[in-house]
């Protein structure tokens, strides 16, 4: 597909700068149901390697290596199948039910036929007005924290109103960076390493979304014209790719989340 688009639009063969983004999604599609250590994913990775090799040969032939830059990364890592790590799974329904039990004990049944918890995934969102009522009573918050962390596999419970992007705690900072007011939850459930959080019926062998190295660490690879060969140990993120490509292309970015990877440029 990338080669066909390059031919159709004559990418890289004019004086103007062209950009083409391609998602190689097969590893994600296979990794979720079979897990990262499966033969199925091993086979998929080998085939993807062949595809990338063919794409590089095509670009070398049609565009010329000094006229293109290839940037490769990923949006997340993956947790191993829990049983392989001596771990288990945290059911989001168990978290929801535990909190419901605590709030019914303290406040009585929820009004009407509703629930106190409106949604429970890797976060908990209360029904309208409930979080204000909960955080007004420190004993209720403490009871929720004790009850939820007593569930096997749960490490911590974070509150959205106590998150900070400047926190020295990397998990709190990660939660703050992913928080979106009006869409994220009132409480964030942090599972222990290798304990994925999901439904009671496990639909997938491999999962992601944890604040740990195996999930957050991804490769960033730059290849082609203007790139200096080497391996660099300084911390980078996929957000650094855009400003780095802009620098190579001679484009000024007025605002960028990442930084220019100057150490990798000639």
pTM of the model: 0.84
Over the stretch 184-236, which tens digit does the pLDDT of each residue have?
Answer: 999 999 999 999 998 887 778 888 889 999 999 999 999 999 999 999 888 89
Over the stretch 41-99, which tens digit does the pLDDT of each residue have?
Answer: 999 999 999 999 999 999 999 999 999 999 999 999 999 999 889 999 999 999 999 99
Q: DSSP letters along 51-119, please? A: HHHHHHHHHHHHT-GGG-EEEE--S---BPPGGGGT---EEHHHHHHHHHHHHHHHH-SPSTT--SEEE
């Amino acid at each position: 597909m990338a080669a066909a688009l390059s031919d159709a639009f004559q990418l890289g063969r004019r004086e103007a700068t062209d950009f083409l983004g391609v998602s190689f999604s097969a590893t994600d599609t296979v990794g979720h149901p079979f897990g990262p250590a499966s033969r199925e994913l091993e086979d998929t990775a080998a085939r993807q390697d062949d595809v990338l090799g063919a794409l590089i040969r095509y670009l070398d032939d049609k565009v010329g290596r000094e006229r293109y830059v290839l940037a490769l990364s990923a949006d997340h890592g993956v947790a191993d199948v829990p049983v392989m790590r001596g771990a288990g799974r945290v059911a989001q329904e168990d978290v929801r039910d535990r909190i419901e039990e605590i709030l019914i004990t303290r406040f009585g049944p929820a009004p009407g036929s509703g629930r106190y918890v409106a949604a429970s995934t890797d976060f908990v969102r209360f029904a309208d007005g409930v979080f204000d009522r909960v955080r007004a009573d420190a004993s209720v918050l403490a009871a929720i924290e004790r009850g939820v962390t007593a569930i096997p596999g749960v490490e911590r419970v974070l509150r959205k109103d106590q998150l900070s992007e400047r926190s020295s705690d990397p998990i709190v900072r990660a939660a703050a960076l992913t928080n979106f007011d009006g869409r994220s939850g009132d409480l964030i459930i942090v599972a222990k390493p290798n304990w994925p959080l999901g439904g009671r019926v496990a639909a997938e062998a491999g999962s992601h979304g944890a604040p740990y190295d195996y999930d957050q660490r991804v490769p960033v690879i730059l290849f082609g014209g203007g790139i200096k060969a080497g391996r660099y140990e300084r911390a980078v993120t996929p957000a650094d790719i855009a400003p780095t490509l802009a620098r190579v292309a001679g484009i000024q970015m007025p605002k960028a989340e990442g930084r220019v990877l100057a150490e990798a440029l000639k």
